[in-house]
Amino acid sequence: MDGANNMVVMREWPKIYVRDFGPFREARIELAPLVALIGRNSLGKSMLLYLLWALENTMPDLPWLASQVAEAGGPDIASDIVASLEKGGEGLEERVRELMVLNLRGLAPAWARALEDQLERLYGVSLSELVRVNAASSEIRIEGREAVMMIRIKGDELDVEWLKPGPEAIVEHINVRSIGSWLTLEYEGRSTNEYIRSVIDVELAMVKLLNVVIGQLFETMLGSTGGETALLVDGRAGIIRTLLETHPGHLYIAREALAADVDFISTTQRLIEDLARRKVELDVPPLRLLLEELGCRLELERKPGIPRLHVRPWLGPRLPIDRAPSGIREAISPLLSLLSRDFSIIYIEEPEAHLHPRAIRHLARLIAYAINKHGKLVRLTTHSDTFICQLNNLIALSSTPEVAEERGYTREETLRPELVRAYLLERGDEHVDVIELPVTEEGFDESAFEEVARELAEERGEALGVLYAREKAGGKAGGSQ
């Protein structure tokens, strides 16, 4: 697609650079509100999606961090802060910054400990198996707002290094204010308040400030999103049928499932609870269109303790969600998470799975609505030409509001190009290439799917040509008789 000159850039998003991880020699992903990983089967789309989830969802090991701060004299500094507040704040700023330096110095190794455990349970393999074949190590570089962290995996060890800015440079931008026992800590325009009565209150204030600093420097990284995340794995329909009925028990089959699958069931149950608490917006046009296409409506049954979700198909009896048709089971978690107030980042493997092309169109429309209306961040994998085509339609409609209105779309149901980043995964020489597709007012390149469409058309044309020739020859033979 020629249209690079129409590229719209509003701002820069956090970036992730990957080297020698899984099948990827190199990859660069910019975490815009919508990230689409596109490609054929067995190229590592899901592996890359899981990595994004781990980097954004995993919080540092805070108990371990607290122990390191304690060993470095943190409690003594916290006691000085309590005493300073009692005396009107004398020397308060200096002591707060000193304690924050200790927390920032321990942040990288604390995150390394948590990330190591998360990656192993997420992929179900040792760390060494995540390194690209024939490579000595893997590197994952995270770039935020003038801040950089480097993750290195070598053998079965994972290390995190904070490259910039250093802890001492960060604390210079922390403003400290107090009124009586109230302590206000501010960093780059965001603040946290805590009423200080003891050392424990000071430690809590440091944790809150640490979350503010991470959020300002790295935005969504290190579990600082400020909301829940939903990893909606492939095979959702089968997992719901198999595991949802047993949740929250711990039956044998749940123990044997991959951690991501069990987490998915926990997320699904949480979404059903959000629905019961009226935290899910249901009265929206894209959802009505999707449910109409799926031929059902949602009904909630409030059993003691755990609410149960049912669907009522257009024809037939009401069914519990784990016995509903596969398309409904596949779509239920994405649609609930996109409209839940508590979930901020949604990761979806193959949103098109088990869905009719018309339902796929409505789901893409719902994703756009959630991004624009609720500020959701969505990361997904796909190899559906229908889904990609609809995303491009929504991008084009954002620049032609008159056409969008004529077609029945609201502005919230379209996608501005600057909100989208698309990446095509392709086979290389013993590795997988991750190619960024420029997003313009017309959308992004669909040629990988157009090539398949051409091949199908050529095959059909060739077969029909032979059939027409046979019919014509048969007609001539009949006439000669």
Nearest to 29 by CA among 401, 398, 381, 416: 381
How far apart are alpha carbons 400 and 414 in whole angstroms? 10
Cα angle value 230/162/150 (rounded, 5°): 65
Which amino acid would we find at residue 77? I
Helix (H) or strand (E) run with residue 259 in it: helix 259-276
Residues of the chain with pLDDT under 50: 1-10, 246-255
Query: Can you tell me whether residue 410 is helix, strand or coil?
Result: coil
Query: Can you tell me whether residue 228 is helix, strand or coil?
Result: strand
Nearest to 105 by CA among 81, 153, 152, 71: 71
Cα distance between the two ends of the chain: 55
Helix (H) or strand (E) run with residue 320 in it: strand 319-320
Are 425 and 37 spatial neighbours (Cβ–Cβ below 8 Å)?
Answer: yes
Q: In what order do the strands lie in the sheet with 307-313?
A: 296-302, 307-313, 319-320
Q: pTM, whole model, 2 decimals?
A: 0.89
Are 219 and 144 spatial neighbours (Cβ–Cβ below 8 Å)?
Answer: yes
Ranges of H-type helices in 87-130: 92-123
Nearest to 331 by CA among 227, 232, 230: 232
Q: Which two tokens stand for residue 453?
A: 């469409």
Distances (CA, A) of 339 to 63, 123, 278, 298, 376: 33, 28, 11, 14, 9
Are 410 and 253 spatial neighbours (Cβ–Cβ below 8 Å)?
Answer: no
How far apart are alpha carbons 359 and 336 in whole angstroms? 15
Are 365 and 286 spatial neighbours (Cβ–Cβ below 8 Å)?
Answer: yes
How far apart are alpha carbons 81 and 201 in whole angstroms? 10
Nearest to 408 by CA among 289, 303, 240, 270: 289
Q: Note the pLDDT of residue 345.
A: 95
Q: Note the pLDDT of residue 248.
A: 46
Q: Is 374 exposed, middle or buried (0-12, 13-18, 19+ CB in 10 A)?
A: middle
